[in-house]
Amino acid sequence: MNPMIAILGPALVLTASCETISIERLAPTSLHLATVQHHLTQQWGHQFDEGHSPHQTTRHGSVNQPSGGRLSAILAGRIPGQVRTISCQAYGSPPATATDFLRACASLPFPNQPATVLPTPNWPRYHRTTINGIHYRLTALPEKSLWVLRLAMPDSSPLP
């Protein structure tokens, strides 16, 4: 069995194909910058940069893991206080930690649902999918201990 599939497959939140799927009981919500920052700070210990002005639309937060590696998140939007895109990165972290972190990031638009209700297929090295209008892009480079997940909330904006 492919080692990447064995390590990451069971804990993933993206679909196995690039088709758009709909999960009726899940509905994406709008994301507020303060709420997402608070969640990542409380759950993962992220320290976010303080914006230079209240009108700043991008925030970066990261944390070094005691087990090694670094987890980071970039929150961006066009309107101050609103998050439209999120980029979550795990670098040098153990695969289990990286998977848990990316699962938490992928489920941010669904705050009242456990991450386990989202589809859990195998991860290829590069993958795109859409779940209820939310566009996900995954890049996995396990040989370099790098996993990146980008998501964009439903609107006409392209992924960063």
Residue 79: the pLDDT is: 81
Residue 148: the pLDDT is: 92
Residue 9: the pLDDT is: 42
Q: How many CA atoms lie within 13 A of 38 on its CB side?
A: 7
Dig out the tokens for 80 from the structure. Answer: 């101050």
Burial letters for 66-93: b for 16+ Cβ neighbours within 10 Å, e otherwise? eeebebbbbbbbeeeeebbbbbbbbbbb
Q: Is residue 6 very low, low, confident or very high in pLDDT (cuts 50, 70, 90)?
A: very low
Residue 52: the pLDDT is: 62
What confidence tens digit (pLDDT) does each residue in 108-130 have? Answer: 888 777 665 454 445 567 888 88
What confidence tens digit (pLDDT) does each residue in 68-96 have? Answer: 899 999 998 888 888 889 999 999 988 88
The percent helix, strand, coil of the chain (3-state, each to 5) is: 25, 30, 45
d(CA 63, CA 26): 30
What confidence tens digit (pLDDT) does each residue in 121-156 have? Answer: 455 678 888 887 888 898 888 888 899 999 988 865
What confidence tens digit (pLDDT) does each residue in 49-72 have? Answer: 876 666 677 888 899 988 789 999
- Cβ(90)–Cβ(71) below 8 Å: yes
d(CA 19, CA 16): 9
* Geometric angle at alpha carbon 132, from 89 and 30, rounded to 5°: 70
Q: What is the mean pLDDT of residues 21-40?
A: 68
